[in-house]
Chains A and B, each alone.
Chain A
Amino acid sequence: MSNILEKIQETVSTNDVVLFMKGNKDFPQCGFSAAVSHVLKTLEVNFTDIDVLRDPEIRQGIKDFSDWPTIPQLYVKGEFIGGCDIIKEMFQSGELQELFKSKNIIS
Chain B
Amino acid sequence: MPIAKKDLEKLLQGNFPEAQIKVVALVADDNHYSVEIIDKIFAGKTRVQQHKMVNIALKEILGDVLHAMQLKTSAS
Task: Return the contact of A89 from the options B47, B62, B63 (Cβ within 8 A).
Answer: B47
Interface residues on B, range: 10 to 19
Interface of A is mostly: mixed
Question: Are B70 and A67 in contact, CB atoms less than 8 angstroms apart?
Answer: no
Interface size, chain A (Cβ < 8 Å): 11
Specify which chain A residues have a CB less than 8 angstroms from the CB of B5 in the assembled complex.
Answer: none
Instruction: Give the distance in Å from the alpha carbon of A81 to the alpha carbon of B51 in the complex.
Output: 12
Question: Are B48 and A81 in contact, CB atoms less than 8 angstroms apart?
Answer: yes
Q: Please give me the 6 A-B residue pairs with the lowest Cβ-Cβ distance, nearest first.
A: A86-B47, A85-B71, A82-B48, A85-B70, A82-B47, A80-B48
Taking Cβ atoms with an 8 Å cutoff, the residues of A that contact B are 67-69, 80-83, 85-86, 89-90
Specify which chain B residues have a CB less than 8 angstroms from the CB of A80 in the assembled complex.
Answer: 48
With both chains docked as a complex, state the minimum distance between the C-beta of B54 and any C-beta of chain A, in angstroms: 11
Is the CB of B15 closer than 8 A to any CB of chain A?
A: no
Is the CB of B55 closer than 8 A to any CB of chain A?
A: yes
Among B48, B55, B70, chain A packs the most CB atoms within 10 A around the CB of B48
